[in-house]
Amino acid sequence: MQRVTLGGILLIVCALAPASAAGQRTPADADARAISAYRLTEATMTKFIAASRAMTAASRAHRDTATEGEDESESGASIAEIAAFYDGQPAARRALVGAGLTSREYVMFMFTLMQAGMAAWLVEQHGWDKLPPEIARENVVFYQRHKVQLDSLTAELKQGEVDPP
C-alpha cells in the first residue's frame, strides 16, 4: 500500500470541482455535491484518526510488499474508485473496519477536510467573510477549531510514511 501524498489529494480534490460554468454535468459533479453536503464531526474525526494511524502502521509493516501500481491518488479518481481501492487492500480494509469506518466515509471525511482546510487558508490569507456556496462554513469552522490537532496528526503520519521502492 503506497502512501497518500498531499499533492495527490489536492489533484483529486481539484478533479472533484464542478465541470464548468456552462453547466456541464460530469461524474465528478456528484462527488463534488456529496463533499459539499458532508459535515465533519468529532465522532468521525476520532475514527478517521484511528484509521489513518492504523493504515500508516500497516504500510510501515508491509513496506516490502508495496508495489508501484498501487497509487490511489491518481488524478480524476472518483470517491467510489478510491473507496474501492481501500477495500481491495487488506491492511487498509482492516484499519478502516477496526476504526469503525467504511471506506467511503473515510474518503468523504478526507476530501471534506481538505476542502475545509483550503477554504480556511483562504479565509486566513485573504480575510474572506463569504465562502463559495459549495463550501460549508461549519466545516471550515470545524477545521479551524481542530487545526493544531490535525497539523500534529499530519506530522505524525508523515514520520511513518513509507516511500515506494
State the sign of the Cα–Cα–Cα–Cα dihedral 32, 37, 41, 43: negative
Structure-block grid coordinates of residue 123? 479565509
pLDDT of 36 reads 93
The stretch 10-22 carries a mean pLDDT of 42
The span from the CA of 82 to the CA of 135, in Å, is: 22
pLDDT of 61 reads 76
8-state DSSP, 63: G
Domain ranges across the chain: 6-12+28-159
Structure-block grid coordinates of residue 7? 499533492
Q: Could you give the angle at which helices 42-61 and 103-126 cross, rounded to 10 degrees? A: 110
pLDDT of 67 reads 40
The span from the CA of 10 to the CA of 8, in Å, is: 5
Q: What percent of the chain has pLDDT over 70?
A: 71
The span from the CA of 34 to the CA of 32, in Å, is: 5
Region of poorest pLDDT, from 17-26, 31-40, 132-141: 17-26
Question: What is the average pLDDT score of the chain?
Answer: 79
**In which region does residue 48 sit, left (phi positive, over 0), alpha (psi from -120 to 50) or beta (all else)?**
alpha
pLDDT of 75 reads 57
pLDDT of 63 reads 64
- Number of neighbours of residue 81 by Cβ within 10 angstroms: 15
**43 close to 101: Cβ distance less than 8 angstroms:** no
- Number of neighbours of residue 8 by Cβ within 10 angstroms: 17
The span from the CA of 139 to the CA of 77, in Å, is: 23
pLDDT digits (tens, 9 = 90+) for 98-153: 999 999 999 999 999 999 999 999 888 887 777 888 899 999 999 999 999 999 99
pLDDT of 123 reads 87
pTM listed for this prediction: 0.75
